[in-house]
Chain A
Amino acid sequence: MTSQGPSGGENHPSNSGAKSTPAPVKRRGPEVQRAAVALPPEGFALAERLPEALAAHEVEVGAAIDEVVCRVPADHLVDVCRQLKDDPTFGFDYLRLLTVVDYVEQDGEFEVVYHLYSMTHRHKMMVKTRLPERRPSISSVTGVWRGADWYEREMHDLFGVEFNGHPNLVPLVLPDDFDGFPGRKNYPLNDYEEW
Protein backbone atom coordinates (compact mmCIF):
# COMPACT_ATOMS: atom_id res chain seq x y z
CA MET A 1 0.00 0.00 0.00
CA THR A 2 2.13 2.84 -1.16
CA SER A 3 -0.43 4.80 -3.13
CA GLN A 4 -2.37 6.18 -0.17
CA GLY A 5 -1.05 8.29 2.65
CA PRO A 6 -1.75 7.79 6.33
CA SER A 7 -4.78 10.05 6.36
CA GLY A 8 -6.60 7.49 4.27
CA GLY A 9 -6.58 5.23 7.29
CA GLU A 10 -8.94 4.92 10.20
CA ASN A 11 -10.62 7.99 11.58
CA HIS A 12 -9.37 7.50 15.04
CA PRO A 13 -10.42 10.08 17.60
CA SER A 14 -8.26 8.68 20.36
CA ASN A 15 -5.13 8.98 18.27
CA SER A 16 -5.54 12.49 16.95
CA GLY A 17 -2.07 13.31 18.26
CA ALA A 18 -0.54 11.26 15.47
CA LYS A 19 -2.03 13.58 12.86
CA SER A 20 0.01 16.63 13.88
CA THR A 21 2.33 16.38 10.87
CA PRO A 22 0.76 18.68 8.29
CA ALA A 23 3.08 17.68 5.41
CA PRO A 24 0.81 17.83 2.36
CA VAL A 25 0.85 14.52 0.53
CA LYS A 26 0.58 14.90 -3.21
CA ARG A 27 -1.98 12.52 -4.58
CA ARG A 28 -3.03 11.67 -8.02
CA GLY A 29 -6.67 10.73 -8.34
CA PRO A 30 -9.60 11.82 -6.24
CA GLU A 31 -9.69 12.31 -2.50
CA VAL A 32 -10.28 9.11 -0.55
CA GLN A 33 -13.94 8.77 0.36
CA ARG A 34 -15.25 6.98 3.38
CA ALA A 35 -17.95 4.34 3.27
CA ALA A 36 -21.35 5.57 4.43
CA VAL A 37 -22.64 4.31 7.75
CA ALA A 38 -26.22 3.03 7.94
CA LEU A 39 -26.94 1.13 11.11
CA PRO A 40 -29.95 -1.20 11.19
CA PRO A 41 -32.50 -0.57 14.00
CA GLU A 42 -31.08 -3.25 16.31
CA GLY A 43 -27.65 -1.71 15.79
CA PHE A 44 -28.95 1.68 16.90
CA ALA A 45 -30.48 0.17 20.01
CA LEU A 46 -27.19 -1.51 20.78
CA ALA A 47 -25.16 1.65 20.21
CA GLU A 48 -27.41 3.52 22.61
CA ARG A 49 -27.16 0.99 25.42
CA LEU A 50 -23.45 0.19 25.17
CA PRO A 51 -21.84 3.36 26.62
CA GLU A 52 -23.98 3.15 29.74
CA ALA A 53 -23.61 -0.58 30.28
CA LEU A 54 -19.84 -0.47 29.80
CA ALA A 55 -19.30 2.86 31.57
CA ALA A 56 -16.70 1.31 33.87
CA HIS A 57 -14.42 0.39 30.97
CA GLU A 58 -13.71 3.66 29.12
CA VAL A 59 -15.24 2.39 25.90
CA GLU A 60 -15.82 4.43 22.80
CA VAL A 61 -18.75 3.49 20.60
CA GLY A 62 -18.78 4.11 16.87
CA ALA A 63 -20.02 2.40 13.74
CA ALA A 64 -18.74 0.83 10.52
CA ILE A 65 -21.24 0.47 7.64
CA ASP A 66 -23.84 -1.68 9.40
CA GLU A 67 -22.10 -2.73 12.58
CA VAL A 68 -21.53 -1.17 15.97
CA VAL A 69 -17.85 -0.76 16.77
CA CYS A 70 -16.75 -0.57 20.37
CA ARG A 71 -13.19 0.50 21.19
CA VAL A 72 -11.87 -0.83 24.44
CA PRO A 73 -8.55 -0.27 26.25
CA ALA A 74 -6.47 -3.45 26.06
CA ASP A 75 -6.45 -4.11 29.81
CA HIS A 76 -10.26 -3.99 30.00
CA LEU A 77 -10.83 -6.27 27.04
CA VAL A 78 -11.53 -9.59 28.75
CA ASP A 79 -13.88 -7.96 31.29
CA VAL A 80 -15.79 -6.26 28.51
CA CYS A 81 -16.01 -9.51 26.53
CA ARG A 82 -17.22 -11.45 29.53
CA GLN A 83 -19.85 -8.84 30.29
CA LEU A 84 -21.02 -8.79 26.68
CA LYS A 85 -21.39 -12.55 26.77
CA ASP A 86 -22.93 -12.98 30.22
CA ASP A 87 -25.30 -10.00 30.27
CA PRO A 88 -28.54 -11.49 28.90
CA THR A 89 -29.55 -8.22 27.26
CA PHE A 90 -26.44 -8.43 25.05
CA GLY A 91 -25.97 -12.20 24.94
CA PHE A 92 -22.97 -12.27 22.57
CA ASP A 93 -22.51 -16.02 22.70
CA TYR A 94 -20.80 -16.46 19.36
CA LEU A 95 -17.32 -15.28 18.40
CA ARG A 96 -17.39 -15.04 14.65
CA LEU A 97 -13.90 -13.87 13.96
CA LEU A 98 -10.81 -12.65 15.73
CA THR A 99 -8.17 -10.87 13.75
CA VAL A 100 -5.27 -8.47 13.90
CA VAL A 101 -4.78 -5.47 11.62
CA ASP A 102 -1.33 -3.95 11.24
CA TYR A 103 -1.42 -0.14 11.63
CA VAL A 104 2.25 0.13 12.50
CA GLU A 105 3.00 2.37 9.51
CA GLN A 106 0.25 4.82 10.44
CA ASP A 107 0.01 4.80 14.22
CA GLY A 108 2.72 2.44 15.42
CA GLU A 109 0.03 0.09 16.69
CA PHE A 110 -1.67 -3.21 16.06
CA GLU A 111 -5.42 -3.49 16.26
CA VAL A 112 -7.14 -6.64 17.49
CA VAL A 113 -10.69 -6.98 16.18
CA TYR A 114 -13.35 -9.27 17.66
CA HIS A 115 -16.50 -9.90 15.65
CA LEU A 116 -19.34 -10.93 17.93
CA TYR A 117 -22.81 -12.22 17.26
CA SER A 118 -25.74 -13.07 19.48
CA MET A 119 -27.82 -16.10 18.60
CA THR A 120 -30.66 -15.06 20.87
CA HIS A 121 -30.93 -11.36 19.92
CA ARG A 122 -29.61 -11.71 16.36
CA HIS A 123 -27.42 -8.66 16.66
CA LYS A 124 -23.74 -8.19 15.94
CA MET A 125 -20.90 -5.90 16.83
CA MET A 126 -17.15 -5.44 16.63
CA VAL A 127 -14.91 -4.96 19.62
CA LYS A 128 -11.54 -3.38 18.92
CA THR A 129 -8.49 -2.71 20.92
CA ARG A 130 -5.08 -1.24 20.14
CA LEU A 131 -1.72 -2.71 21.08
CA PRO A 132 1.70 -1.05 20.89
CA GLU A 133 4.14 -2.06 18.16
CA ARG A 134 6.77 -3.29 20.63
CA ARG A 135 5.89 -6.55 22.37
CA PRO A 136 2.17 -6.50 21.60
CA SER A 137 0.35 -8.58 24.16
CA ILE A 138 -3.21 -8.93 25.36
CA SER A 139 -5.21 -11.28 27.57
CA SER A 140 -6.66 -14.29 25.83
CA VAL A 141 -10.42 -14.59 25.42
CA THR A 142 -10.32 -18.39 25.24
CA GLY A 143 -11.91 -18.38 28.71
CA VAL A 144 -14.90 -16.51 27.31
CA TRP A 145 -15.29 -18.28 23.96
CA ARG A 146 -13.34 -21.48 23.44
CA GLY A 147 -13.53 -20.89 19.70
CA ALA A 148 -10.90 -18.16 20.10
CA ASP A 149 -8.26 -20.84 20.59
CA TRP A 150 -7.05 -21.34 17.04
CA TYR A 151 -7.70 -17.75 15.97
CA GLU A 152 -5.32 -16.56 18.68
CA ARG A 153 -2.71 -19.15 17.78
CA GLU A 154 -2.91 -18.14 14.13
CA MET A 155 -2.61 -14.45 14.95
CA HIS A 156 0.31 -15.24 17.23
CA ASP A 157 2.01 -16.97 14.30
CA LEU A 158 1.34 -14.29 11.73
CA PHE A 159 1.59 -11.06 13.76
CA GLY A 160 3.55 -12.01 16.85
CA VAL A 161 0.83 -10.85 19.22
CA GLU A 162 1.06 -12.57 22.61
CA PHE A 163 -2.22 -13.79 24.05
CA ASN A 164 -1.62 -14.10 27.78
CA GLY A 165 -3.43 -16.96 29.44
CA HIS A 166 -3.89 -18.95 26.24
CA PRO A 167 -3.70 -22.64 27.13
CA ASN A 168 -1.42 -23.69 24.28
CA LEU A 169 0.14 -20.83 22.32
CA VAL A 170 2.29 -22.91 19.95
CA PRO A 171 2.65 -22.46 16.18
CA LEU A 172 -0.44 -23.53 14.27
CA VAL A 173 -0.19 -22.61 10.60
CA LEU A 174 3.56 -22.02 10.38
CA PRO A 175 6.39 -24.52 10.91
CA ASP A 176 7.77 -24.68 14.43
CA ASP A 177 11.11 -23.19 13.41
CA PHE A 178 9.74 -20.35 11.29
CA ASP A 179 11.41 -17.01 11.84
CA GLY A 180 9.50 -13.75 11.54
CA PHE A 181 5.87 -12.67 11.41
CA PRO A 182 4.64 -12.95 7.83
CA GLY A 183 1.29 -11.26 8.44
CA ARG A 184 2.92 -7.93 9.23
CA LYS A 185 3.16 -5.23 6.62
CA ASN A 186 6.93 -5.02 6.91
CA TYR A 187 7.36 -8.69 6.00
CA PRO A 188 8.09 -8.88 2.27
CA LEU A 189 5.72 -10.87 0.10
CA ASN A 190 8.40 -12.47 -2.06
CA ASP A 191 11.43 -13.01 0.08
CA TYR A 192 13.12 -15.71 -1.91
CA GLU A 193 15.85 -15.60 -4.51
CA GLU A 194 15.52 -17.24 -7.87
CA TRP A 195 17.75 -20.22 -8.40
Chain B
Amino acid sequence: MTENVAPTNLGSTIIQVPSPEPGTVDMMVNMGPQHPATHGVFRMELRVDGEQIQDLVPHIGYLHRGSEKLCEHESYSQIITLFDRLDYVSNFNNELVIVSAVEKLMDVAPPPRAELIRIIMCEFNRIASHLLFYGTFAIDMGAITPLLYNFRDREKIQALFESVSGARMMHNYFRVGGVKEDVADEFESRSLALCDELEHGIDETDRLLTENEIFLERTSGIGVISGEDALDWGLSGPVLRASGVPYDVRVDEPYSRYDELDFGIPVGSAGDCWDRFYVRILEARESVSIIRQAIALMEPGDTMSKIRRIARPPAGEVYAHCENPRGDLGVYIVSEGGERPYRLKVRPPSFCNLQALRDLTVGHYIADAVVILGTLDIVLGEVDR
Protein backbone atom coordinates (compact mmCIF):
# COMPACT_ATOMS: atom_id res chain seq x y z
CA MET B 1 0.00 0.00 0.00
CA THR B 2 3.06 2.29 -0.15
CA GLU B 3 1.87 4.05 -3.29
CA ASN B 4 -1.09 5.43 -1.28
CA VAL B 5 1.16 6.94 1.32
CA ALA B 6 1.05 10.71 0.98
CA PRO B 7 2.92 13.23 3.13
CA THR B 8 0.72 15.28 5.48
CA ASN B 9 1.24 18.92 6.13
CA LEU B 10 2.93 17.98 9.45
CA GLY B 11 5.54 15.88 7.65
CA SER B 12 4.25 12.50 8.95
CA THR B 13 2.73 9.80 6.68
CA ILE B 14 -0.79 8.35 6.58
CA ILE B 15 -0.92 4.56 6.85
CA GLN B 16 -3.85 3.11 4.94
CA VAL B 17 -5.62 0.15 6.59
CA PRO B 18 -5.89 -2.69 4.02
CA SER B 19 -9.31 -4.10 3.12
CA PRO B 20 -10.06 -7.30 5.04
CA GLU B 21 -9.39 -10.65 3.43
CA PRO B 22 -10.34 -13.89 5.20
CA GLY B 23 -7.38 -15.81 6.52
CA THR B 24 -9.29 -18.93 7.55
CA VAL B 25 -7.94 -22.43 7.20
CA ASP B 26 -9.86 -25.67 6.81
CA MET B 27 -10.42 -27.56 10.04
CA MET B 28 -10.50 -31.30 10.66
CA VAL B 29 -13.49 -32.45 12.68
CA ASN B 30 -13.80 -35.99 13.94
CA MET B 31 -17.30 -37.50 14.32
CA GLY B 32 -17.49 -40.83 16.06
CA PRO B 33 -16.90 -43.67 16.65
CA GLN B 34 -18.82 -42.87 19.84
CA HIS B 35 -21.30 -40.40 18.43
CA PRO B 36 -25.07 -40.72 18.70
CA ALA B 37 -25.69 -39.49 15.16
CA THR B 38 -23.56 -42.17 13.51
CA HIS B 39 -26.01 -44.94 14.49
CA GLY B 40 -23.32 -47.22 15.79
CA VAL B 41 -19.55 -47.36 15.89
CA PHE B 42 -18.78 -45.44 12.74
CA ARG B 43 -16.27 -42.61 12.38
CA MET B 44 -16.30 -39.76 9.91
CA GLU B 45 -13.28 -37.56 9.42
CA LEU B 46 -14.53 -34.23 8.12
CA ARG B 47 -12.52 -31.43 6.61
CA VAL B 48 -14.66 -28.36 7.03
CA ASP B 49 -14.48 -24.77 5.90
CA GLY B 50 -16.52 -23.14 8.63
CA GLU B 51 -19.69 -25.23 8.60
CA GLN B 52 -19.26 -26.47 5.07
CA ILE B 53 -17.88 -29.94 4.37
CA GLN B 54 -14.95 -29.99 1.96
CA ASP B 55 -14.05 -33.62 2.33
CA LEU B 56 -15.25 -36.65 4.24
CA VAL B 57 -13.38 -39.86 5.00
CA PRO B 58 -15.51 -42.67 6.45
CA HIS B 59 -13.84 -45.18 8.76
CA ILE B 60 -15.49 -48.52 9.42
CA GLY B 61 -14.38 -51.78 10.96
CA TYR B 62 -14.93 -51.06 14.64
CA LEU B 63 -17.43 -53.91 14.77
CA HIS B 64 -15.55 -56.31 12.51
CA ARG B 65 -16.06 -59.77 14.00
CA GLY B 66 -14.95 -61.87 11.07
CA SER B 67 -18.44 -63.32 10.65
CA GLU B 68 -17.64 -64.71 7.22
CA LYS B 69 -14.60 -66.58 8.45
CA LEU B 70 -16.60 -67.81 11.43
CA CYS B 71 -19.28 -69.14 9.07
CA GLU B 72 -16.69 -71.37 7.39
CA HIS B 73 -16.27 -73.16 10.71
CA GLU B 74 -19.95 -73.64 11.56
CA SER B 75 -22.59 -75.94 10.17
CA TYR B 76 -25.34 -74.44 8.04
CA SER B 77 -27.89 -74.51 10.84
CA GLN B 78 -25.48 -72.69 13.14
CA ILE B 79 -24.82 -70.04 10.51
CA ILE B 80 -28.45 -68.93 10.75
CA THR B 81 -27.74 -67.59 14.23
CA LEU B 82 -24.73 -65.65 12.91
CA PHE B 83 -26.88 -64.09 10.21
CA ASP B 84 -29.29 -62.88 12.89
CA ARG B 85 -26.45 -60.76 14.16
CA LEU B 86 -25.48 -59.08 10.90
CA ASP B 87 -28.29 -56.62 10.41
CA TYR B 88 -29.68 -56.77 13.90
CA VAL B 89 -32.83 -54.78 13.22
CA SER B 90 -34.12 -56.98 10.39
CA ASN B 91 -33.21 -60.45 11.60
CA PHE B 92 -35.84 -62.43 9.72
CA ASN B 93 -34.77 -60.95 6.39
CA ASN B 94 -31.22 -62.02 7.08
CA GLU B 95 -32.25 -65.53 8.04
CA LEU B 96 -34.24 -65.81 4.84
CA VAL B 97 -31.15 -65.14 2.74
CA ILE B 98 -29.02 -67.88 4.23
CA VAL B 99 -31.77 -70.50 4.30
CA SER B 100 -32.80 -69.74 0.72
CA ALA B 101 -29.19 -69.96 -0.42
CA VAL B 102 -28.75 -73.40 1.12
CA GLU B 103 -32.12 -74.51 -0.23
CA LYS B 104 -31.13 -73.35 -3.70
CA LEU B 105 -27.90 -75.29 -3.43
CA MET B 106 -29.69 -78.42 -2.21
CA ASP B 107 -32.58 -77.92 -4.62
CA VAL B 108 -35.26 -78.31 -1.98
CA ALA B 109 -38.32 -76.14 -1.49
CA PRO B 110 -40.03 -75.45 1.82
CA PRO B 111 -43.75 -76.26 2.12
CA PRO B 112 -46.09 -73.49 0.90
CA ARG B 113 -47.25 -72.66 4.42
CA ALA B 114 -43.68 -72.16 5.60
CA GLU B 115 -43.01 -69.85 2.66
CA LEU B 116 -45.97 -67.69 3.64
CA ILE B 117 -44.97 -67.58 7.30
CA ARG B 118 -41.53 -66.45 6.16
CA ILE B 119 -42.97 -63.73 3.96
CA ILE B 120 -45.23 -62.46 6.73
CA MET B 121 -42.34 -62.41 9.22
CA CYS B 122 -40.03 -60.66 6.76
CA GLU B 123 -42.56 -58.00 5.87
CA PHE B 124 -43.35 -57.33 9.52
CA ASN B 125 -39.63 -57.05 10.06
CA ARG B 126 -39.35 -54.62 7.17
CA ILE B 127 -42.00 -52.43 8.79
CA ALA B 128 -40.27 -52.67 12.17
CA SER B 129 -36.98 -51.67 10.58
CA HIS B 130 -38.55 -48.75 8.73
CA LEU B 131 -40.30 -47.62 11.91
CA LEU B 132 -36.92 -47.50 13.60
CA PHE B 133 -35.64 -45.49 10.65
CA TYR B 134 -38.40 -42.87 10.81
CA GLY B 135 -37.82 -42.36 14.51
CA THR B 136 -34.04 -42.13 14.50
CA PHE B 137 -34.08 -40.06 11.33
CA ALA B 138 -36.42 -37.55 12.98
CA ILE B 139 -34.14 -37.46 16.01
CA ASP B 140 -31.21 -36.69 13.72
CA MET B 141 -33.06 -33.51 12.89
CA GLY B 142 -34.11 -32.72 16.44
CA ALA B 143 -37.66 -34.10 16.40
CA ILE B 144 -38.11 -36.40 19.39
CA THR B 145 -41.84 -37.14 19.15
CA PRO B 146 -41.99 -39.48 16.13
CA LEU B 147 -39.55 -41.87 17.77
CA LEU B 148 -41.89 -42.41 20.70
CA TYR B 149 -44.81 -43.25 18.44
CA ASN B 150 -42.68 -45.48 16.23
CA PHE B 151 -41.22 -47.44 19.11
CA ARG B 152 -44.72 -47.99 20.47
CA ASP B 153 -45.64 -49.67 17.18
CA ARG B 154 -42.35 -51.46 16.76
CA GLU B 155 -42.79 -52.98 20.21
CA LYS B 156 -46.09 -54.54 19.09
CA ILE B 157 -44.34 -56.16 16.15
CA GLN B 158 -41.65 -57.52 18.40
CA ALA B 159 -44.26 -58.91 20.78
CA LEU B 160 -45.71 -60.78 17.80
CA PHE B 161 -42.22 -62.03 16.90
CA GLU B 162 -41.76 -63.22 20.44
CA SER B 163 -45.03 -65.15 20.32
CA VAL B 164 -43.90 -66.87 17.11
CA SER B 165 -40.19 -67.45 17.57
CA GLY B 166 -39.65 -67.02 21.30
CA ALA B 167 -37.27 -64.09 20.93
CA ARG B 168 -37.71 -60.39 20.31
CA MET B 169 -34.66 -60.00 18.12
CA MET B 170 -32.31 -62.95 17.63
CA HIS B 171 -35.00 -65.33 16.44
CA ASN B 172 -33.24 -68.32 14.85
CA TYR B 173 -36.66 -69.33 13.54
CA PHE B 174 -36.10 -70.12 9.87
CA ARG B 175 -34.65 -73.49 9.02
CA VAL B 176 -33.23 -74.97 5.87
CA GLY B 177 -36.41 -76.47 4.42
CA GLY B 178 -38.99 -74.61 6.46
CA VAL B 179 -39.48 -72.90 9.78
CA LYS B 180 -38.85 -74.10 13.31
CA GLU B 181 -42.47 -74.64 14.23
CA ASP B 182 -45.93 -73.70 13.11
CA VAL B 183 -47.51 -70.48 14.29
CA ALA B 184 -50.21 -70.45 16.96
CA ASP B 185 -53.91 -70.55 16.06
CA GLU B 186 -54.54 -66.92 16.90
CA PHE B 187 -51.58 -65.77 14.77
CA GLU B 188 -53.66 -64.80 11.75
CA SER B 189 -56.22 -62.73 13.62
CA ARG B 190 -53.48 -61.13 15.68
CA SER B 191 -51.47 -60.24 12.60
CA LEU B 192 -54.47 -58.73 10.86
CA ALA B 193 -55.25 -56.61 13.91
CA LEU B 194 -51.61 -55.55 14.05
CA CYS B 195 -51.74 -54.60 10.37
CA ASP B 196 -54.53 -52.12 11.11
CA GLU B 197 -52.60 -50.63 13.99
CA LEU B 198 -49.43 -50.34 11.93
CA GLU B 199 -51.26 -48.71 9.08
CA HIS B 200 -52.52 -46.14 11.54
CA GLY B 201 -49.02 -45.69 12.97
CA ILE B 202 -47.45 -45.19 9.54
CA ASP B 203 -50.13 -42.60 8.68
CA GLU B 204 -49.36 -40.85 11.94
CA THR B 205 -45.65 -40.59 11.11
CA ASP B 206 -46.53 -39.44 7.64
CA ARG B 207 -48.72 -36.67 9.04
CA LEU B 208 -46.14 -35.66 11.63
CA LEU B 209 -43.13 -35.46 9.34
CA THR B 210 -43.63 -35.65 5.61
CA GLU B 211 -45.03 -32.22 4.91
CA ASN B 212 -43.65 -30.45 7.94
CA GLU B 213 -42.00 -27.26 6.73
CA ILE B 214 -38.86 -27.61 8.83
CA PHE B 215 -38.54 -31.24 7.78
CA LEU B 216 -38.85 -30.26 4.12
CA GLU B 217 -36.24 -27.54 4.51
CA ARG B 218 -33.82 -30.02 6.03
CA THR B 219 -34.38 -32.84 3.56
CA SER B 220 -35.44 -31.71 0.10
CA GLY B 221 -32.56 -31.06 -2.25
CA ILE B 222 -30.05 -32.39 0.30
CA GLY B 223 -27.71 -35.26 -0.58
CA VAL B 224 -28.82 -35.75 -4.17
CA ILE B 225 -27.56 -38.74 -6.12
CA SER B 226 -28.59 -39.54 -9.69
CA GLY B 227 -29.77 -42.97 -10.72
CA GLU B 228 -26.69 -43.54 -12.86
CA ASP B 229 -24.30 -42.69 -10.04
CA ALA B 230 -26.30 -44.81 -7.66
CA LEU B 231 -25.90 -47.82 -9.93
CA ASP B 232 -22.21 -47.11 -10.41
CA TRP B 233 -21.74 -47.12 -6.64
CA GLY B 234 -23.71 -50.35 -6.33
CA LEU B 235 -26.41 -48.85 -4.14
CA SER B 236 -29.58 -50.82 -3.57
CA GLY B 237 -32.86 -50.81 -1.72
CA PRO B 238 -34.75 -47.62 -0.86
CA VAL B 239 -31.61 -45.54 -1.50
CA LEU B 240 -31.42 -46.72 -5.11
CA ARG B 241 -35.17 -46.55 -5.68
CA ALA B 242 -35.31 -42.97 -4.39
CA SER B 243 -33.01 -42.09 -7.29
CA GLY B 244 -35.53 -43.43 -9.75
CA VAL B 245 -34.22 -46.95 -10.43
CA PRO B 246 -37.04 -49.45 -9.92
CA TYR B 247 -34.87 -52.34 -8.75
CA ASP B 248 -36.38 -54.61 -6.14
CA VAL B 249 -35.24 -58.22 -5.79
CA ARG B 250 -38.75 -59.28 -4.82
CA VAL B 251 -39.89 -58.34 -8.34
CA ASP B 252 -36.78 -58.66 -10.47
CA GLU B 253 -35.78 -62.11 -9.31
CA PRO B 254 -38.82 -63.27 -7.37
CA TYR B 255 -38.00 -65.65 -4.56
CA SER B 256 -40.21 -67.52 -2.12
CA ARG B 257 -43.83 -66.82 -3.12
CA TYR B 258 -43.54 -63.12 -3.88
CA ASP B 259 -44.61 -63.72 -7.48
CA GLU B 260 -48.10 -64.62 -6.23
CA LEU B 261 -48.48 -61.32 -4.40
CA ASP B 262 -49.48 -58.00 -5.80
CA PHE B 263 -47.58 -54.99 -4.56
CA GLY B 264 -46.11 -51.76 -5.83
CA ILE B 265 -42.54 -50.49 -5.82
CA PRO B 266 -42.28 -46.88 -4.66
CA VAL B 267 -39.74 -45.00 -6.77
CA GLY B 268 -38.50 -41.46 -6.15
CA SER B 269 -37.55 -38.87 -8.72
CA ALA B 270 -35.12 -36.39 -7.15
CA GLY B 271 -32.86 -38.81 -5.26
CA ASP B 272 -32.61 -36.50 -2.26
CA CYS B 273 -33.09 -37.13 1.45
CA TRP B 274 -36.82 -36.47 1.30
CA ASP B 275 -37.28 -39.07 -1.44
CA ARG B 276 -35.29 -41.62 0.52
CA PHE B 277 -37.54 -40.98 3.51
CA TYR B 278 -40.82 -41.02 1.66
CA VAL B 279 -39.98 -44.15 -0.34
CA ARG B 280 -39.72 -45.94 2.99
CA ILE B 281 -43.10 -44.64 4.18
CA LEU B 282 -44.73 -45.94 1.01
CA GLU B 283 -42.81 -49.20 1.22
CA ALA B 284 -44.10 -49.89 4.71
CA ARG B 285 -47.67 -49.44 3.44
CA GLU B 286 -46.98 -51.92 0.65
CA SER B 287 -45.63 -54.34 3.24
CA VAL B 288 -48.90 -54.12 5.18
CA SER B 289 -50.74 -55.01 1.99
CA ILE B 290 -48.36 -57.92 1.33
CA ILE B 291 -48.99 -59.30 4.82
CA ARG B 292 -52.77 -59.14 4.32
CA GLN B 293 -52.50 -60.97 0.99
CA ALA B 294 -50.18 -63.59 2.44
CA ILE B 295 -52.52 -64.25 5.35
CA ALA B 296 -55.40 -64.67 2.90
CA LEU B 297 -53.35 -67.31 1.05
CA MET B 298 -52.46 -69.31 4.17
CA GLU B 299 -53.72 -72.85 4.33
CA PRO B 300 -53.07 -75.50 6.94
CA GLY B 301 -50.18 -77.80 6.19
CA ASP B 302 -46.62 -78.75 7.00
CA THR B 303 -44.07 -76.14 7.95
CA MET B 304 -40.97 -78.25 7.42
CA SER B 305 -40.06 -80.32 4.41
CA LYS B 306 -38.80 -83.83 4.86
CA ILE B 307 -35.07 -83.47 4.53
CA ARG B 308 -32.17 -84.55 6.68
CA ARG B 309 -31.93 -82.60 9.86
CA ILE B 310 -28.32 -81.69 9.23
CA ALA B 311 -28.09 -79.98 5.88
CA ARG B 312 -25.43 -81.48 3.61
CA PRO B 313 -25.64 -79.61 0.33
CA PRO B 314 -23.81 -80.91 -2.74
CA ALA B 315 -20.58 -79.35 -3.94
CA GLY B 316 -21.07 -76.24 -6.01
CA GLU B 317 -21.51 -72.56 -5.64
CA VAL B 318 -24.56 -70.44 -5.26
CA TYR B 319 -25.48 -66.80 -5.03
CA ALA B 320 -28.85 -66.07 -3.46
CA HIS B 321 -30.24 -62.72 -2.51
CA CYS B 322 -33.33 -61.16 -1.02
CA GLU B 323 -34.68 -57.69 -0.57
CA ASN B 324 -33.66 -56.57 2.89
CA PRO B 325 -35.12 -53.33 4.34
CA ARG B 326 -31.71 -51.80 3.58
CA GLY B 327 -31.32 -53.18 0.10
CA ASP B 328 -30.16 -56.19 -1.81
CA LEU B 329 -28.70 -58.59 0.73
CA GLY B 330 -26.96 -61.49 -0.93
CA VAL B 331 -24.87 -64.45 0.06
CA TYR B 332 -22.35 -66.33 -2.05
CA ILE B 333 -21.62 -69.83 -0.82
CA VAL B 334 -18.91 -72.11 -2.15
CA SER B 335 -19.59 -75.63 -0.98
CA GLU B 336 -17.34 -78.63 -1.30
CA GLY B 337 -19.99 -80.95 0.07
CA GLY B 338 -20.15 -81.58 3.77
CA GLU B 339 -21.98 -79.69 6.45
CA ARG B 340 -19.92 -76.49 6.40
CA PRO B 341 -19.42 -73.99 3.61
CA TYR B 342 -15.94 -73.73 2.11
CA ARG B 343 -16.35 -70.02 1.63
CA LEU B 344 -19.19 -67.72 2.52
CA LYS B 345 -19.39 -64.10 1.49
CA VAL B 346 -22.16 -61.68 2.32
CA ARG B 347 -23.20 -58.88 0.01
CA PRO B 348 -24.02 -56.28 2.63
CA PRO B 349 -26.35 -53.54 1.36
CA SER B 350 -25.41 -51.05 4.09
CA PHE B 351 -21.73 -51.45 3.22
CA CYS B 352 -22.38 -50.54 -0.42
CA ASN B 353 -24.76 -47.72 0.43
CA LEU B 354 -22.25 -46.21 2.82
CA GLN B 355 -19.61 -45.98 0.09
CA ALA B 356 -21.52 -43.16 -1.56
CA LEU B 357 -21.53 -41.06 1.62
CA ARG B 358 -18.62 -38.86 0.59
CA ASP B 359 -20.18 -37.96 -2.76
CA LEU B 360 -23.47 -37.19 -1.08
CA THR B 361 -22.15 -34.93 1.65
CA VAL B 362 -19.37 -32.83 0.15
CA GLY B 363 -20.57 -29.23 -0.22
CA HIS B 364 -23.27 -29.53 2.43
CA TYR B 365 -23.19 -28.43 6.07
CA ILE B 366 -22.15 -30.59 9.00
CA ALA B 367 -25.74 -30.83 10.20
CA ASP B 368 -26.71 -32.15 6.75
CA ALA B 369 -24.10 -34.89 6.97
CA VAL B 370 -26.05 -36.28 9.93
CA VAL B 371 -29.27 -36.18 7.93
CA ILE B 372 -27.69 -37.79 4.86
CA LEU B 373 -26.15 -40.55 6.92
CA GLY B 374 -29.57 -41.05 8.52
CA THR B 375 -31.24 -41.62 5.14
CA LEU B 376 -28.68 -44.24 4.18
CA ASP B 377 -30.00 -46.12 7.23
CA ILE B 378 -26.91 -48.17 7.91
CA VAL B 379 -26.55 -50.92 10.48
CA LEU B 380 -22.95 -51.28 11.49
CA GLY B 381 -23.31 -54.94 12.36
CA GLU B 382 -23.79 -55.56 8.68
CA VAL B 383 -21.29 -53.00 7.39
CA ASP B 384 -18.45 -54.48 9.39
CA ARG B 385 -19.55 -58.09 9.75
Contact = CB atoms under 8 A, between A and B. Distances in A.
Interface of A: 1, 3-4, 8-9, 32-36, 64-67, 93-97, 99, 101-102, 113, 115, 119, 122, 126, 145-150, 158, 171-175, 182-183, 187, 189
Given A35-B318, A174-B64, A101 B69 contact: no
Contacts of A9: 315, 336, 342
Contacts of A171: 61
Contacts of B235: 147
A57 B330 CA distance: 29
A4 B332 CA distance: 20
Given A1-B336, A1-B342, A172 B61 contact: yes
Interface in B349-371: 351-352, 354-355
B336 A4 contact: yes
A36 B107 contact: yes
B301 to A, nearest CB: 26
A144 B60 CA distance: 24
26 contacts: A1-B338, A1-B340, A8-B337, A32-B315, A32-B337, A33-B337, A34-B316, A64-B317, A95-B234, A96-B328, A97-B330, A99-B345, A101-B334, A115-B319, A115-B330, A119-B231, A146-B234, A147-B234, A149-B355, A150-B354, A150-B355, A158-B69, A173-B61, A173-B64, A173-B385, A183-B69
Contacts of A65: 104-105, 316-318
Nearest to A145: B232
B66 interface: yes
Q: Which of B245, B342, B352 has the most CB of A within 10 A?
A: B342
Contacts of A173: 60-61, 64, 384-385
Given A32-B337, A147-B234, 4 more contacts: A4-B338, A32-B338, A94-B234, A115-B332
Contacts of B60: 172-173
Given A93-B231, A147-B233, A147-B352, A34 B315 contact: yes
Nearest to B346: A97
Interface of B: 60-61, 64, 66, 68-70, 72-73, 104-107, 231-235, 245, 247, 252, 313-319, 321, 328, 330, 332, 334-338, 340, 342-343, 345, 347, 351-352, 354-355, 384-385
A164 to B, nearest CB: 20
The 4 closest A-B pairs by CB, nearest first: A147-B234, A35-B316, A32-B337, A173-B61
A97 B334 CA distance: 14
Contacts of A99: 332, 343, 345
